[in-house]
Amino acid sequence: MDEEVGAMKERYGQWAGNREGTRGDPTKCSMEISEPGRGMLFYQCSRNGTVEEDGELWCKTHAPSSVRAREEKSRKKYEDDCERRAKAYPENVRKAAIQECIKIADADGSFSGDRIAKALRARLKMSLLLGRESRED
């Protein structure tokens, strides 16, 4: 259904209500995008293609190298944030908090036979076990 000229798509926005789609502009970015809130209607990015990668023209935002750089920056920020939080919340404090939650769940006689309380105890115990295993690896 998609006809391609070289590596660039020839048609954009093809769907059941518009099987032909719209013809692609070879001078524009090759990315097929949709506006937020407009559902699943796609069209070619309207920015001029200024970066050539993989035989296609891309705008600076959609160039594969730019996308990879943004993803790497985001991943690095996430890892730094996780490391900062781990330092701020020591392992022994986390374990003690989970143990206290388990004691509360076990001591509460009104919920001891309840399916939800059992699931909570199991989840807390699993969290404690997984926390130990991830630190040992």
How does pLDDT run across 9-47, given as a tens digit for each residue? 677 777 767 777 787 888 899 898 887 776 777 888 889
Specify the pLDDT at position 114. 62
Higher model confidence: residue 107 or residue 113?
Answer: 107
Name the nearest CA neighbour of 45 among 55, 20, 60, 2. 60
Q: Is the full-model pTM beyond 0.75?
A: no
Scanning 17-114, the segments in alpha helix (DSSP H) are 64-88, 91-107
What distance separates the 2 farthest-apart alpha carbons in the chain?
71
pLDDT at 2 over 50: no
User: Is 73:65 a contact under the CB 8 Å cutoff?
Assistant: no
Q: What is the mean pLDDT of residues 69-95?
A: 85
